[in-house]
Amino acid sequence: MSVLVFAGAAQFAAVGYVASGLPWPGVILLTALLNARHLLYSAALAPWLRPVRFSRRALMAHVLTDEQFALTLSHYRRINTTDERGYWMAATVGDFVPWVGASIVGAVIGAQIPDPAIFGMDVIFPAAMIGLAVGLITGRRELVAAMVGAGVAVLVALLSSPAIGIVAGGVIGPLIGLAIPAWLAAETAPLGSFESAERFSMPDTHVDTATVSSEPPAAPGARP
């Protein structure tokens, strides 16, 4: 399961659901809901991975996790270009190998390992998520999106389930972030502008349909 699904939260949930006797269709539906957030990650990384061949992107998709997304996006933004080798380094050394390896160790000698909660290990996941989120916050819009996303997620989770809450927070948070007035957001690149889109997507790959016919293309690596 760790190799095929490679999604910690879904795996933990599935084990609990199977143990409680939930029928498989229910487990599969909840897995789909819990992992729906990957669709947002995938869309957000798409502009950066455009230069990579389709077959390799198809493989890269399998190892796209929360941690992988945060590490990759912050790395790409920092170096301002795509780094396929960096993606695979993070995915294999930082994510896949430790996860699958630890799963095997857990399956073999898990009964002899004391409850990890004694050592506070259960707090690593939320602490890592908030730490990785901080790395992606570069302005007030991101900050608002994160705060609203967290608030909405908790509220919706209380009313339905954590899986639905996470997706709701991930969808609504950015919408509220976008609604922040420009003067309050202190943005240097207005929303919906070429500069704004370029700031996010891989530089010089974004198609500016408004200016493509009237302005000469920018030099490679040039920033607006």
Subset of 109-138 contacting other proteins (CB under 8 A): 115, 117-137
Q: Answer yes or no whether residue 196 interacts with other proteins by CB under 8 A.
A: yes
Q: Which one of 78-86, 89-97, 146-154, 211-219 is the stretch in contact with other proteins (CB under 8 A)?
A: 146-154
Cα distances (Å, whole numbers) of residue 151 to 10, 46, 145, 156, 160: 22, 27, 10, 9, 14
Read off the tokens for 166: 């996470």
Minimum distance, C-beta of residue 112 to other proteins, in the bound complex (Å):
16
Minimum distance, C-beta of residue 90 to other proteins, in the bound complex (Å):
13
Q: Answer yes or no whether residue 31 interacts with other proteins by CB under 8 A.
A: yes
| Selected binder of other proteins within 97, 102, 175, 182 (CB under 8 A) | 175
Q: Which of residues 77-106 bind other proteins (CB under 8 A)?
A: none
Residues 167, 182 contacting (CB under 8 angstroms): no
Amino acid in position 159? L
Read off the tokens for 152: 């909405």
Q: Is 219 helix (H, G, I), strand (E, B) or coil?
A: coil
**Dihedral angle, C-alpha 212, 218, 221, 224, nearest 10 °:** -90
Q: Which one of 78-86, 88-96, 189-197, 214-222 is the stretch in contact with other proteins (CB under 8 A)?
A: 189-197
| Selected binder of other proteins within 75, 84, 100, 151 (CB under 8 A) | 151
